[in-house]
Amino acid sequence: MVTLCALIAAFNEEANVADVVKGTALHASPVVVVDDGSTDDTAARARDAGAIVLSHEQNRGKGCAIRTGLKYALKQDRSHVLFLDADLQHDPAEIPRLVARAEQSRGDFVIGEREFRRDAMPAARFHANVIGSAILSRFIGADVADSQ
């Protein structure tokens, strides 16, 4: 049986973080938000929505936020760690599909793919995702359409 600890890296996402936390809490516990030096109310809104909030005093980047969250998450008695973004790019309603794949035990991790549409995201982000995914695919020797 898959049991989840959810990890959400967040930077200035006061508009969306509560919705992500509430949607995620339907499928995972605990829900951990790493507030990466936000200057808005991200931490308070995440906490009010039921998340455990870990905070960086200043922005250190998503990689650092994930490492901070993993230190906490790996101490939990859970079989899996679920990563989401706080900006609603990852729909918490899709979590059961990821869990179903994990329960099939086909690998060590499951990656959900977002649909990349050039008209729906800034050009720099679109190209960074496409290039990053290609690099990761080559590095691990398997096709990864969404490295994020």
Q: What domain range is 148 assigned to?
A: 115-148
pLDDT at residue 40, rounded to an integer: 98
Q: Are residues 31 and 62 in the same domain?
A: yes
Query: What pLDDT sits at residue 129?
Result: 72
One domain, residues 119 and 108: no
Look up the CATH number of the domain holding residue 29: 3.90.550.10
Count the domains in the chain: 2
* Contact criterion met (CB below 8 Å) for 108 and 80: no
Identify whether residues 89 and 68 lie together within a single domain: yes
Instruction: Give CA–CA dist 36/10, Å, rounded.
Output: 6
For residues 120 and 146, state if they share a domain: yes
Strands 52-56 and 80-85, bridge-based pairing: unpaired
Task: Look at residue 34 in the predicted model and tell me its pLDDT.
Answer: 97
Tokens of 103: 């329960």
Q: Are 122 and 86 found together in one domain?
A: no
Amino acid 24: pLDDT? 96
Q: Do 36 and 56 share a domain, yes or no?
A: yes
Low-confidence ranges of the chain (pLDDT < 50): none
In this predicted structure, what is the pLDDT of residue 104? 84
Statement to judge: residues 122 and 66 lie in one domain: no
pLDDT of residue 10: 96
So what's the pLDDT on residue 46? Answer: 98
Task: Report the length, in residues, of the chain.
Answer: 148
Same-domain status, 137 and 108 = no
Compute the distance between CA of residue 30 and CA of residue 5 in angstroms, rounded to an integer. 5
Q: Verify that 28 and 41 share a domain, yes or no.
A: yes
Q: Are residues 33 and 88 located together in one domain of the fold?
A: yes
The verdict on 53 and 98 lying in the same domain is: yes
The predicted structure's pLDDT at residue 100: 86
